């Protein structure tokens, strides 16, 4: 905030709010696994206490120990090695960390790993078929839909999610579909063309 509100003795920043929400959500998610008779005191979870989680990523099952406060982004990159998912703003503003969770684009930086248990998670690596690029990846390559390339995995995953829900999006639907992903290089015109091309490829066009 730019200035302190009158009548309040404290100021909440966006970063502080998100940090507190993350820890609080971790407690709620894990507390949800406690027996119905657990008291409020018992339901308070130490955010550093390790808990077992099973994640389904790109068709493979991974069982690991995580801290309840760890984001899905951290676990994908640092524990499972899926480094195609990028760390950008780390606060849900840029979209570089976008993955699919049950076919829906989600910011991995704002999703707790324990929240994703039982869901189908797809990262940019999961779009490939062996060594062959997936349709969206191929279209981004053909239309030079990147410059520095840092945002590209997130752009691709947002586009993939859009095309799974809508096989023939209009130009406006494409713009809205990737509006949560920022390209600081400004390659949007080519990104939009690439998504149109990817839609044709997915429909079997040449």
pLDDT digits (tens, 9 = 90+) for 142-168: 999 999 999 999 999 999 999 999 999
Query: 179: Cβ–Cβ under 8 A, 6 or more apart, which residues?
Result: none
Name the CA dihedral angle for 86, 90, 96, 102, rounded to a multiple of 10 degrees. 90
122 and 138, same domain (yes or no): no
Position 1 in a domain: no
pLDDT digits (tens, 9 = 90+) for 76-88: 999 999 999 999 9
pLDDT band of residue 6 (cuts 50, 70, 90) is very low
Domain of residue 154 covers 129-202
108 and 144, same domain (yes or no): no
pLDDT at 128 over 60: yes
pLDDT digits (tens, 9 = 90+) for 96-119: 999 999 999 999 999 999 999 999
Position 7 in a domain: no
pLDDT at 187 over 60: yes
pLDDT band of residue 46 (cuts 50, 70, 90) is confident
pLDDT digits (tens, 9 = 90+) for 189-205: 999 999 999 999 999 86
Position 177 in a domain: yes
**What CATH number did the domain enclosing 120 receive?**
3.10.20.30
The pLDDT, as a whole number, for residue 24 is: 47
pLDDT at 30 over 80: no
Position 23 in a domain: yes
21 and 117, same domain (yes or no): yes
Stretch (H or E) spanning 61: strand 60-66
Global pTM?
A: 0.78
The pLDDT, as a whole number, for residue 43 is: 60
146 and 122, same domain (yes or no): no
133 and 197, same domain (yes or no): yes
**What CATH number did the domain enclosing 181 receive?**
1.10.150.120
43 and 70, same domain (yes or no): yes
User: How many domains, the chain?
Assistant: 2
Share of residues in the chain with pLDDT > 90 (%): 74
pLDDT at 21 over 50: no
- Where is the domain boundary, 126, 160, 194? 126
DSSP three-state, residue 14: helix
- In SS3 terms, 93-153 reads as CCCCCEEEECCEEEEHHHCEHHHHCCCEEECHHHHCECCECCHHHHHHHHCCCCCCCCCHH
């Amino acid at each position: 905030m730019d200035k302190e509100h009158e009548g309040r003795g404290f100021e909440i920043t966006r970063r502080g709010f998100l940090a507190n929400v993350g820890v609080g959500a971790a407690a709620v998610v894990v507390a949800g696994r406690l027996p119905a008779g657990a008291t409020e005191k018992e339901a308070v979870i130490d955010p550093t206490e390790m808990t077992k989680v099973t994640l389904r990523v790109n068709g493979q099952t991974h069982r690991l120990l995580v801290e309840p406060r760890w984001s899905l982004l951290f676990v994908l990159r640092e524990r499972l090695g899926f480094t195609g998912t990028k760390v950008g703003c780390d606060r849900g503003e840029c979209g570089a960390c976008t993955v699919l969770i049950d076919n829906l684009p989600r910011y991995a930086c704002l999703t707790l790993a324990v929240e994703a248990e039982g869901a189908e998670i797809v990262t940019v690596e999961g779009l490939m078929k062996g060594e062959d690029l997936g349709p969206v990846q191929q279209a981004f390559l053909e239309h030079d839909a990147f410059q520095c390339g840092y945002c590209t995995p997130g752009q691709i995953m947002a586009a993939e999610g859009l095309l799974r829900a809508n096989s023939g999006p209009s130009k406006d639907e494409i713009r809205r579909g990737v509006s949560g992903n920022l390209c600081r290089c400004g390659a949007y015109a080519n990104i939009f063309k690439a998504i149109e091309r990817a839609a044709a490829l997915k429909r079997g066009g040449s």
